[in-house]
């Protein structure tokens, strides 16, 4: 998060969001009222405070259930951690397939032959590794609370 605006008049909120977007910025807007709904809809990510109006909640992409604005920072951190896990899992899957597919195609034939059954088992192991790595995100997130 590079910055924030506060105490913006209701009729200027959507304009401010649009100004940042015109500069190429990615904008997240947090609001709780009817006057926030147009800006929440305009923003790249609209975040409604749960105790706010139904209009704000309907317009937003994300709703803070606990109505704690500090959760926005936690939300950003969680997004960064999630992205990091996605990259890790992608690297694992690509690396695995760079090795496994040529073996399955018989690149080391006749010295080594990977049977179809063993290929299926190894593919399942790859899926399990990705799932376990993703589960560490949940564990890390729970430890930060």
User: Is the full-model pTM beyond 0.85?
Assistant: no
Q: What is the pLDDT of residues 1-45, one digit of tens each?
A: 677 888 888 889 999 999 999 999 999 999 988 899 999 999 999
The Cα 25–Cα 143 span in angstroms is: 32
Domain locations in the chain as residue ranges? 10-67, 72-143
- Site of tokens 């593919």: 123
List the CATH code of the domain at 10-67: 3.40.50.1000
On the CB side of 28, CA atoms within 13 Å amount to: 17
Whether residue 42 contacts residue 15, with contact meaning beta carbons closer than 8 Å, is answered with: no
């Amino acid at each position: 998060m590079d910055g924030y605006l506060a105490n913006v008049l209701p009729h200027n909120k959507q304009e401010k969001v649009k100004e940042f977007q015109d500069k190429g910025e990615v904008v997240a807007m947090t609001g709780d009222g009817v006057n926030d709904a147009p800006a929440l809809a305009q923003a790249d990510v609209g975040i409604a405070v749960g105790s706010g109006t139904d209009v704000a909640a309907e317009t937003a992409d994300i709703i803070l259930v606990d109505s704690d604005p500090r959760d926005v920072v936690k939300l950003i951190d969680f997004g960064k951690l999630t992205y990091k896990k996605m990259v890790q899992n992608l690297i694992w899957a690509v690396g695995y397939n760079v090795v496994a597919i040529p073996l399955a195609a018989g690149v080391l034939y006749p010295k080594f032959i990977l049977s179809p059954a063993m290929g299926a088992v190894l593919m399942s192991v790859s899926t399990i590794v990705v799932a376990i790595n993703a589960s560490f995100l949940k564990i890390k997130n729970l430890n930060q609370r």
